[in-house]
Chain A
Amino acid sequence: MELFDIVFYVFALITLGSACVVVFSKNIVHAAFSLLFTFFGVAGIYVLLRADFLAVTQILIYVGGILVLMLFGVMLTNKVINVKIKTGTMQAWPAGIAVSILAGLLAGVFYSNWKDAQLPASTVDATTHLLGEMLMTSYLLPFEIASVVLLVALIGAALIARRNR
């Protein structure tokens, strides 16, 4: 077992362990907080795979944006409607059967031969430069369309949330 493997298993353990807390915790605030560690674990695996830009994005967007938003949501709604939000298990049997079928299928997928991708040589290059160049050349169109999607979503959010005057 090399150092690479040990580090991978540590991060994998953090990710899976905290993800289990997210799913099984009855307290929704605890669940939201342990999601933080899940995101960090995934970011660690990205770093290990030399996807530095992806790792930073993961932390900025998921931890910095989405998680904080979720916590705000949980705390504010708790106060407003004065109901303790709890998560419970409903329909355990059908859900269990569906999940195990899906897990079996995915296990089949993971044992098939994937397209080999060689890890880059040991010198660590920053990927940000390459990504930036790709966004302005071969992925120019998706980049621009993504901005239109965001604009539509913004207008829509304003339209739905706005009070009638």
Chain B
Amino acid sequence: MPEQLLGDITKFLPEITLTVMFLVAICADLMFRKSPQIVAGITLTGLILSGAFVLNQSGMNESIFGNMIAVDPFAVFFKVIILMSAIFVIVFSLSSVELQTASRRLGEYYSLLGGLALGMMLMAGASNLLMMYLAIELSSVSSYILAGFTKEAPDSSEASLKYVIYGGLSSGLMLYGISIIYGLTGSLDIYEINHVLAQGSVSGSALAIAGILTLVGFGYKISAVPFHFWTPDVYEGSPITITAFLSVASKAGGFAVMIRFFKGVFIDPSATHLPEGMWASLSGFEWYHVVAAISVVTMTLGNLVALWQDNMKRLLAYSSIAHAGYMLMGVVVLSNEGLAAILVYFMVYLFMNLGAFYIVMVIANKTGSEDVEDYKGIGKRAPFLGVALTVFLISLTGLPPTAGFIGKLYLFAALLNSGWIWLAIVGALNSVISLYYYAKVLRNMYLRSEASEKKTEMIDIPRVQVATVLVLLVPVIALGLYFTPLVEMAQASVKMFGSP
């Protein structure tokens, strides 16, 4: 066993790098209180190094530390998404005005971002219920703190407190579900649980209750309705950099851990269509019906409530709830095609959502407002930002020729190929609804002008920020026109350890 553990360390390098950099960042923060940029630099180096190790893992398909963590293409894909968004968020944070109000604490901010990324990376690979719980807890605890980081702002403290209360409740319910699963099957290891379930001696109703209780924990992480109540307040109250990070990476981690749980635990190993990439669920607990119902209410409620929002952060919060609903549709179809569609969607979502949040931040840096009403005339005052935000919002709606269209296209194709036609129709109707509120922002930017004469001067943006926007903007357009490599990468990344 000890030799085995020592050998596994080499396959755990990305996470070890992040942990070491997290500790170094804490020490550096104590030494260089005055210049948090040093801590930012250390965390950034850690993330990039860790990313290099992750890329080195491509093609591996193993399980390490006694089946605690899987190192497989599926985990690697999500780790790449998490690390990329973490790197973007650190770059965003360096130019945020809002964060400067708490400059004395900024060192801790950057080191905790490293801790948060570590928790999400572990979520991507965890293949033991205990490990899944700990990974979720690590990322949740770090996010509570970061959500309340600008604690002088009253809505930031409120956001943090609400986040803690909802988080505590849902992780309690999840633990309860996990303990029932352990009682029914005698194991925490998802492969072992699957083995016991396949023998068919476990009562279906008890398993269904345990599964739904566990789903609460995952649903909370991806902010699916009805576990979404924290989302709008937390997204509005947190610093916008953290909001952006939570809306992309936290969802990525949540989706990774949820898909691995459901596929690992409930897949039927004797199903006939496994080689063609269609998998079947074990009988007893038809969990995909539950997920389908959650998917429908999540996207519908997210889109409908977004119609009434007049704060950009809140609007994007509800839009991110709706996007979680779209992506859940890919889980329902029980096929590798659906999984690949989710992966494509996530990569696209990373760029378009981070881009939209970044522009909201840049505009708030200059105007101090996140109100949709204050976007009047932005199209003339800051032409570049206006065009970029337009592209991001069109992509979020899912219209060609942007990358968002490709994401939706593959999702709907997967649904239609496996006969979920009604779900595809609901999804398409929802996209139409979403056009309305995204277009509301565009209308304010271009078609309406500010009434008072004072607010007509041009907004000039530093070159670095223009470059950052471009780095996010180019993939959104490029992936919309030339998407074969991304799709091929996603199709190669659906492979999980332990399932054929």
Which residues in A have their C-beta under 8 angstroms from that of B2?
Answer: 137
Render B185-210 as a binary contact track against A, CB cut-off 8 A, 1 for contact. Answer: 11000000000100001110110011
Is A109 among interface residues, defined by CB-CB distance under 8 A? yes
Render B130-167 as a binary contact track against A, CB cut-off 8 A, 1 for contact. Answer: 11001101100110110011011000000010000000
A-B contact pairs, 20 of them (CB 8 A): A109-B180, A109-B209, A115-B186, A117-B186, A138-B1, A139-B66, A140-B5, A141-B68, A142-B131, A142-B134, A145-B131, A145-B138, A148-B19, A148-B22, A152-B142, A155-B26, A156-B141, A159-B112, A160-B145, A164-B152
Is A132 among interface residues, defined by CB-CB distance under 8 A? no
Is B440 among interface residues, defined by CB-CB distance under 8 A? no
Is B455 among interface residues, defined by CB-CB distance under 8 A? no
Which residues in B have their C-beta under 8 angstroms from that of A149?
Answer: 134, 137-138, 141
The answer to whether B141 and A113 touch across the interface, beta carbons within 8 angstroms, is no
Shortest CB distance A101–B (Å) = 11
Interface size on A, residues (CB 8 A): 28
Q: CA–CA, A106 to B213, complex, Å?
A: 11
Q: CA–CA, A145 to B108, complex, Å?
A: 19
Dominant secondary structure at the B interface: helix
Is A105 among interface residues, defined by CB-CB distance under 8 A? yes
Residues 100 to 139 of chain B near chain A (Cβ within 8 Å): 104-105, 108, 111-112, 115, 118, 122, 128, 130-131, 134-135, 137-138
Is B183 among interface residues, defined by CB-CB distance under 8 A? yes
Is A153 among interface residues, defined by CB-CB distance under 8 A? yes
Is B65 among interface residues, defined by CB-CB distance under 8 A? yes
Q: CA–CA, A159 to B113, complex, Å?
A: 14
Is B466 among interface residues, defined by CB-CB distance under 8 A? no
Is A91 among interface residues, defined by CB-CB distance under 8 A? no
The answer to whether A108 and B206 touch across the interface, beta carbons within 8 angstroms, is yes
The answer to whether A159 and B134 touch across the interface, beta carbons within 8 angstroms, is no
Q: CA–CA, A88 to B210, complex, Å?
A: 31
Render A114-143 as a binary contact track against B, CB cut-off 8 A, 1 for contact. Answer: 110100000000000000000001111110
- B residues near A, CB below 8 A? 1-2, 5, 19, 22, 26, 65-66, 68-69, 104-105, 108, 111-112, 115, 118, 122, 128, 130-131, 134-135, 137-138, 141-142, 144-145, 148-149, 151-152, 160, 180, 183-186, 196, 201-203, 205-206, 209-210
- A residues near B, CB below 8 A? 105-106, 108-109, 112-115, 117, 137-142, 145-146, 148-149, 151-153, 155-156, 159-160, 164-165
Which residues in A have their C-beta under 8 angstroms from that of B180?
Answer: 109
Which residues in A have their C-beta under 8 angstroms from that of B134?
Answer: 142, 145-146, 149
The answer to whether B65 and A141 touch across the interface, beta carbons within 8 angstroms, is yes
Residue of A nearest to B130 (CB): A142
Which residues in B have their C-beta under 8 angstroms from that of A148?
Answer: 19, 22, 115, 118, 138
The answer to whether B205 and A114 touch across the interface, beta carbons within 8 angstroms, is no
Most buried by A among B26, B131, B134, B151: B134
Q: CA–CA, A117 to B185, complex, Å?
A: 11
Which residues in A have their C-beta under 8 angstroms from that of B137?
Answer: 149
Most buried by B among A106, A115, A152: A152
The answer to whether B144 and A112 touch across the interface, beta carbons within 8 angstroms, is no
Shortest CB distance B54–A (Å) = 18
Which residues in B have their C-beta under 8 angstroms from that of A152?
Answer: 112, 115, 138, 141-142, 145
